[in-house]
């Protein structure tokens, strides 16, 4: 079995989570975002640590929170002792996945119809 990797996330020196899956067929992400919207003057800083178990087609969340200016985020690559996710989504069948892909395809086809040559 190949080595699997995940992330140990710390904020301001405090360990938040050890995100990862034990199986090889998975995705783990750590997303930091800064959002500013002119129309309503909103500003947001967020962190999301999540992933996908590609064997079971289930999404997982380890951590989701707001950030503040000056926060220090530390991300260490790890390969064991992963925390269990705080939430795990519904498992999707191959039929469910195909249905969603077709829905997206038809939506994009309609949206881009003026640019497509048929």
- Say how far apart CA 87 and CA 56 lie, in whole Å: 14
> Among the residues of the chain, which ranges form H helices?
94-111
Q: Which pTM value belongs to this model?
A: 0.78
Quick: pLDDT tens for 47-91: 999 999 999 889 999 999 999 999 999 999 999 999 999 999 988
Task: Determine how β-strand 42-53 pairs with β-strand 58-66.
Answer: antiparallel
The average pLDDT across 10-19 equals 98
Burial of 105 (0-12, 13-18, 19+ CB in 10 A): exposed
């Amino acid at each position: 079995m190949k080595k699997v990797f995940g992330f140990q996330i710390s904020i301001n020196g405090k360990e938040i989570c050890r995100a990862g899956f034990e199986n090889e067929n998975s995705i783990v992400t750590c997303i930091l975002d800064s959002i500013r919207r002119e129309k309503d003057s909103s500003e947001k800083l967020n962190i999301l640590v999540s992933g996908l178990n590609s064997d079971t087609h289930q999404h997982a969340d380890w951590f989701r929170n707001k950030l503040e200016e000056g926060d220090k985020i530390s991300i260490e690559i790890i390969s064991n002792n992963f925390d269990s996710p705080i939430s795990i989504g519904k498992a999707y069948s191959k039929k469910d996945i195909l249905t969603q892909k077709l829905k997206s395809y038809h939506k994009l086809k309609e949206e881009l119809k003026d640019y497509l040559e048929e």
